Chains A and B, each alone.
Chain A
Amino acid sequence: MPLKSIDSPRPSGRESGAVVSSSPKRDVVAGETGPADDQPSRASEQFLVRGTSERPLKRPRSSPLESILGDTDRRKQILETELTPWRMICALEIESQTGAAYVGTGWFAGPRTVITAGHCVFDPVELGGWAKKITVVPGRNVNKKPFQSASSSSFSSTDKWQESQDADFDYGVIHLSSDLGAAVGSFSVGVLTDEALKNRLVNVSGYPFEPGEGKAQYFHANRVKALTGRRLFYDIDTMGGQSGSPVWAYEEGSDTPVVVAIHAYGIGGVPANLNVVANSGPRVLPEVLEVIRGWIARGNTESAAAAGTAAAGAGGAAGAGGTV
């Protein structure tokens, strides 16, 4: 099933699509590690999960009623947001067409490419259509913005999200006009097979409204509880504002974080026939990866063009000052 990228009414973007396979094969777009960390991240050592597990890491003690899936909130605040991989995750300050403010989460897939949920960039009810402006703050830690921020009014989403707000196609991107992501690196993004995702331990980190008011990064990890052809369901606590958070895993023998889904929905998003209580997000699938490749390529093209313009300007100035 072809999937098309749809742009907000600003600079046009490439559209691409690909035929979906009923049995997705592994395919990964490599990210960039970015500058080396000054020190190893203790949070990474203590919290990140890898591999698979037949059982959840911690079973909720009662019937869960909320996106916090048990009696207690199991999320951990990340303080080392200047380190990898936390720095690649961004707090989003979203402004609707009417000036209303929202908070969400995004993550770098390229120096100018911040992936998020489709409803963070386009929503006919909440945002009045396309968002008016989004400010991206990578690695935000309350009032600290270790990598500064960038604002954009250029977004893209998928045709199926824009047309019908189908939860299975809830993907979006923020196109930046500066290489802010070069300072923090970018996630790898990948299609993993159904078999590889079964019981896979996944990590989710983002910027909830509670606690932190969208300014503090909170993390949780656990097991994939179920998957459909288009969505991943996981036993991981989240709260509003974490829409757009990366859902990432580590393949066997690898330390490279690979985003396999984009967190988008709380407990109400689970189809009744799955008979699980979980939060969820749309998977990275072949046609989705193709669209994301296009978004990354667009950013890289614009970055190269900007560099070429800057070089030409510098050369021109030197020529003007040349000898007679």
Chain B
Amino acid sequence: MIDAGGHPVAGAFVSVTWGTAPTPDIARKTGEDGTFQVGLPPGKFRIRATASESRSGEVEVDGGEGDEIVITVRASKGSRADA
């Protein structure tokens, strides 16, 4: 995970919010180097990341292939209505 400046983001939260196959509703934190691991079966998935200071990002990926996923978190213009 990286920020808008390309720097790794540690301690951010990552979770799968949509998919075409079952994925556990668990959330993971990025490590000190901004990396995380997520197990995805074959299918399409949307992954959401949130970091401090109201930064968030989303990507859609294909699962089951073991590819690298890069999520860029950016500051949102306003806080989420439920945050």
Q: Which residues of A contact B (CB under 8 A)?
A: 65-68, 72-73, 75, 94, 100-104, 117, 119-120, 123, 125-126, 167, 170, 208-211, 213-214, 238-243, 263-269, 279
Contacts and interface: CB of A to CB of B under 8 A. Distances in A.
Contact of A268 (B20, B80, B82): B20
Nearest to B56: A210
B59 interface: no
A242 B17 CA distance: 12
Nearest to A125: B39
Contacts of A266: 16-19, 23, 25
A264 B29 contact: no
B27 interface: yes
A240 B29 contact: no
Contacts of A263: 25
Contact of B25 (A67, A100, A101): A67
A105 B36 CA distance: 20
B25 A264 contact: yes
Contact of B18 (A65, A125, A126, A243): A65
B18 A102 contact: no
B37 to A, nearest CB: 7
Interface of B: 13-29, 31, 36-39, 43, 45-46, 48, 50, 80-83
Shortest 8 CB-CB contacts between residues of A and residues of B: A240-B15, A268-B19, A125-B39, A209-B27, A240-B27, A269-B22, A209-B13, A241-B27
A75 B48 CA distance: 18
Contacts of B50: 209-210, 213
30 contacts: A65-B46, A66-B17, A66-B18, A67-B17, A67-B18, A100-B29, A102-B28, A119-B26, A123-B24, A170-B24, A209-B14, A210-B48, A210-B83, A211-B80, A211-B83, A240-B27, A242-B25, A243-B25, A243-B26, A264-B24, A265-B25, A266-B18, A266-B19, A266-B25, A267-B19, A268-B19, A268-B21, A269-B22, A269-B23, A279-B25
B51 to A, nearest CB: 10
B71 to A, nearest CB: 14
Contacts, number: 122
Given A125-B37, A264-B24, A103 B18 contact: no
Contacts of B83: 210-211
Contacts of A94: 26
Nearest to B15: A240
Contacts of A269: 22-23
A268 B18 contact: yes
A167 B22 contact: yes
B27 A265 contact: no
B29 A103 contact: yes
Nearest to B21: A268
Contacts of A241: 13, 15, 25-27
B24 to A, nearest CB: 4
A104 B22 contact: no
Given A266-B18, A268-B43, A210 B24 contact: no
Central interface residue in A209, A241, A269, by most chain B CB within 10 Å = A209
A268 B23 contact: yes
Contacts of A65: 18, 46
A263 B48 CA distance: 20
A94 B24 CA distance: 14
A188 B31 CA distance: 38
Given A123-B24, A211-B80, A269-B22, 13 more contacts: A65-B46, A73-B81, A126-B37, A126-B39, A210-B48, A210-B83, A240-B13, A241-B25, A243-B24, A266-B16, A268-B20, A268-B22, A268-B43
